[in-house]
Amino acid sequence: MKSASDFPTINAKIPDGLKEDGSKYRVLLVDDSIFVKKQLQQMLLSQDYEVVDTAADGEEAVAKYKQHYPNIDLVTMDITMPKMDGLTALEQIIEFDRSAKVVMISALGKEELVKKALLLGARNFIIKPLDRVKVLERLASVVKR
Amino acid sequence: MRVEYINPFVESAMSVLKSTVSENVKRGTPKLSTSINNIQGVAIIVGLAGQVSGRVVLDMSEETALNVASSMNGERLDSLDELVSATLTELGNMITGNAITKLHELGFKFDLTPPALFVGDNLRLTDNKIEALVVPLELEEGNLCINVAIKENIYK
Ligand SMILES: [Mg+2]
C-alpha cells in the first residue's frame, strides 16, 4: 500500500513567496517601527519571500525602490512615518514606476485614507494589528496578479 | 465629557490587546480622575487634535510593559530596549488608530500625534481643566490603565 509520503508534491502547498520558476518574490519592507518590521519579516520569510531591503521613512523608501529597481516585486508601506509619510512615498514610487506593486499597511483605516491610497495606485490596504493569515493572503493576491 | 468619544478607545484597547497580547482581557471599573495622575512606570501617550483636544495614555508598571512586549514579540524581552519601545509605541498606534477610524465612521474628526513613550518612577501627568476617564484593564501579563482625556473645541 502506498502512503502519503509517496506523493510528496501533491499535497504540499507551494509557498506564496515563490514564483512559478521557483525564484523568490522580492519585497521592500517600509515601516518606522522595528517591531512591525520584525513581525512582517517573519511572516514573509515563512512563505519564502525574499526581503531585499527595509526602509524606516518615506524618503528612504523612494530611494531604495529606485536603487533596487527593477528587482523589486512588492513594497509594503507604512503610512505614519517621520520625514516623509507613506502616501507621499507611494505617490513618488508610482510616478517613477507605474507598475509598482505597493501595499499599504497602517493602523489607520479611515475610509478617506484608504480611498486616497487606492487612487494613488496602492494595490491593497491592510489594517494593523496584523493577522498573519490575512496579511499573507492579501500579499499573495497582489504579487500573483 | 462625552461617552461616545471615550468608548471607542476602550473598546479598541480591548480588541487590540486581545489579538496581539492575550485572549483574556478584563475590563475594570472606570473612574473619573482628578487633574493629576500618577503614572505607574511606563506610559505611552498619544495626543488628539481636530474637533477635540486631549490625549490617550496607556500606563503600566515596567514589569507589565516587559511582559506585554514579550507576548507581542513571541519571545522573552528583559530590558526596556529599542525593540520593547518600538513594540509599546506600536501598541499605542494600533489602539488609537483603530479608535479614530471608528470615530470617523461615526462622523467625528480626530487626528493623532505619533505616540511618545515615557519611562520613570515618579512620572506625573498634569492636565489643566481636562477631566480624564481611567479604565483599568487586567491581563495575564499584568494590569494596565487606559486614560482618556478629551475636551471639545468650541468653534465660533
Ligand atoms: Mg509608523
Q: Which residue of A has its CA nearest to B110?
A: A110
What is residue A3's predicted lDDT score, i.e. its pLDDT? 54
- Give chain A as a 3 state SS string: CCCHHHCHHHHCCCCCCECCCCCECEEEEECCCHHHHHHHHHHHHHCCCEEEEEECCHHHHHHHHHHHCCCCCEEEECCCCCCCCHHHHHHHHHHHCCCCCEEEEECCCCHHHHHHHHHHCCCEEEECCCCHHHHHHHHHHHHCC
Q: Domain of B41: which CATH number? A: 3.40.1550.10
pLDDT means over runs of 10, chain A (145 residues): 54 85 97 96 97 98 98 97 96 98 96 96 97 96 92
Comparing CB atoms, the residue among B83, B94, B96 nearest residue A34 is B83
Distance of alpha carbon B84 from its chain centroid, rounded? 16
Residue A11 lies in a domain: no
What proportion of chain B, given as a percentage, has pLDDT over 90?
62
Residue B37 binned pLDDT confidence (cut-offs 50, 70, 90): low
Average pLDDT over residues B103-109: 89
Residue A6 lies in a domain: no
Q: Is 90 exceeded by the pLDDT of residue B127?
A: no
Range of the domain at B30: 3-152
Q: Is A46 touching B (CB cutoff 8 A)?
A: no
- What's the gap in Å between A81 CA and the centre of ligand 1? 5
Residue A89 lies in a domain: yes
Q: Say yes or no for a CB contact (<8 Å) between B19 and A129.
A: yes
pLDDT, tens digit, 9 for 90 and up, residues B50-69: 888 889 999 999 999 999 99
What's the total number of domains in chain A? Answer: 1
Q: Which residue of A has its CA nearest to B115?
A: A80
Residue A107 lies in a domain: yes
Q: Domain of A74: which CATH number? A: 3.40.50.2300
Residue B108 binned pLDDT confidence (cut-offs 50, 70, 90): confident
Residue A3 lies in a domain: no
Size of interface A-B (CB pairs under 8 A): 51
* ipTM here: 0.87
Range of the domain at A122: 22-143
Set of chain B residues whose Cβ sits within 8 Å of the Cβ of A80: 93, 114
What is residue B132's predicted lDDT score, i.e. its pLDDT? 86
- What's the gap in Å between B34 CA and the centre of ligand 1? 32
Residue A12 lies in a domain: no
What's the total number of domains in chain B? Answer: 1
